[in-house]
Structure 1
């Protein structure tokens, strides 16, 4: 059954940003079933194309994967908002971690939904974002409301620090991490040093154990 967004001009123009074609196709299929409520105007598979497409198309809604090639998804949002300040952003991710959700909301996202969500939940998150509201996956919302953020292990790493730690645990070297994140190797070393200082670890084994414990492992 159609459930349009009150007070919002239709169709809602959407850019889908995810580095996996199957995910982009899935979101497109969900939106297509909504009787013209949404119009997918473009897609992006990496950060440079994301910024370029937002500048060109100025969508009402950006659905954004939290981890994409070519840079930081959240780090790209300032450039996107400069190009189109009224754009709504809905994060669609596998990262079930309150700290990631907090960082996304601080960066300007309005919705944070997991990729495991059913189509009805995705549409609710998208509609609320476009209408100026907020949506959090229920489990994340409960953790954030009660302060029971066990998944963060009481350590507030930045998005990039967490990404570097995750890649270290997956066996990547500093040069390989630099290539993955499209940054200089010295930048990787800086993030690594900051994360290790915050965590109090000195070995890859300790980092790997932490990543598994807090659910950052691939």
Structure 2
């Protein structure tokens, strides 16, 4: 890497103190400005006030409502790079991120070179998945392929069902009609070839749509 600081402003958006401080220590000698934020409000404030070249975030720990939040940021700041740095990633979530225009993903267990490769790619507007992320994408066993047929909205509804929300509560939360939620449910059941909510939950856990801890009986 170049020993001279580059005139680039980065934001590290993570709720883990040690992660933020470690990344700042690694990146500060190389890039002119490295901001640390632990809330979405703090991130949006920096994006509004300054020209940010790159955001590095663990979206699973941050207070994003969904991946759609990241997609909206991507639309508002199309020239800004976004890197996902996480240990909670699945085939389905990679697809969701890709659909939102976010195509730079690295695991926290990867070595430093992978992160720097991702940074350089993101700054040039190019895609970069680390080797371990590519391994996840290449795994074709299990129900992943069927689950990937679900739309982003359908995946969100599966997660709300897993959280214990009723059809009426889902309709209120998503600001859609009861009938629309029922239609989504029918489509989800049809696509995944399941016939009950418990069967849907087991399928969703195996497919990586939800974690065991997300499922409320």
Q: Give the TM-score taking structure 1 as reference length.
A: 0.71
C-alpha deviation, 1:59, in angstroms: 1.0
Alignment of 1:136-151 (within 5 A): 136-142=129-135, 144=137, 146=138, 148=140, 150=142
Alignment of 1:102-121 (within 5 A): 102-121=95-114
Distance of aligned partners of 1:150 and 1:56 in 2 relative to their CA distance in 1, 3 Å threshold:
farther
Cα separation, 2, equivalents of 1:131 and 1:142: 24
Larger Rg: 2
Distance of aligned partners of 1:174 and 1:69 in 2 relative to their CA distance in 1, 3 Å threshold:
farther
Partner of residue 175, structure 2: 184
Structure 2 gap segments, 5+ residues each: none
Cα separation, 2, equivalents of 1:151 and 1:45: 34
Partner of residue 154, structure 1: 146
Do the aligned partners of 2:146 and 2:191 also contact (CA within 8 Å) in 1? no
Do the aligned partners of 2:20 and 2:36 also contact (CA within 8 Å) in 1? no
Alignment of 1:91-130 (within 5 A): 91-130=84-123
Do the aligned partners of 2:10 and 2:55 also contact (CA within 8 Å) in 1? yes
Cα separation, 2, equivalents of 1:158 and 1:117: 29
Do the aligned partners of 1:88 and 1:130 also contact (CA within 8 Å) in 2? yes
C-alpha deviation, 1:199, in angstroms: 1.9
Count of equivalent residues: 206
Alignment of 1:30-45 (within 5 A): 30-38=23-31, 39-41=33-35, 43=37, 45=39
Cα separation, 2, equivalents of 1:65 and 1:142: 19
Distance of aligned partners of 1:26 and 1:111 in 2 relative to their CA distance in 1, 3 Å threshold:
same
Do the aligned partners of 1:17 and 1:45 also contact (CA within 8 Å) in 2? yes
C-alpha deviation, 1:175, in angstroms: 6.7
Structure 1 gap segments, 5+ residues each: none
C-alpha deviation, 1:205, in angstroms: 0.9
Partner of residue 9, structure 2: 13
C-alpha deviation, 1:206, in angstroms: 0.6
C-alpha offsets along residues 70-128 of structure 1, whole Å, 9 cap, x if unaligned? 5333444344433x331011123344323322332342223112344344433332233
Distance of aligned partners of 1:55 and 1:196 in 2 relative to their CA distance in 1, 3 Å threshold:
farther
Do the aligned partners of 1:88 and 1:110 also contact (CA within 8 Å) in 2? no
Asked whether 1:62 is paired with 2:55, we answer yes
Cα separation, 1, equivalents of 2:188 and 2:3: 42
Q: 3-state SS of the aligned residue for 2:120?
A: helix
Quote the RMSD (CA, aligned, Å).
3.6
Cα separation, 2, equivalents of 1:167 and 1:148: 26
Q: 3-state SS of the aligned residue for 2:12?
A: strand
Do the aligned partners of 1:91 and 1:113 also contact (CA within 8 Å) in 2? yes
Distance of aligned partners of 1:184 and 1:52 in 2 relative to their CA distance in 1, 3 Å threshold:
farther
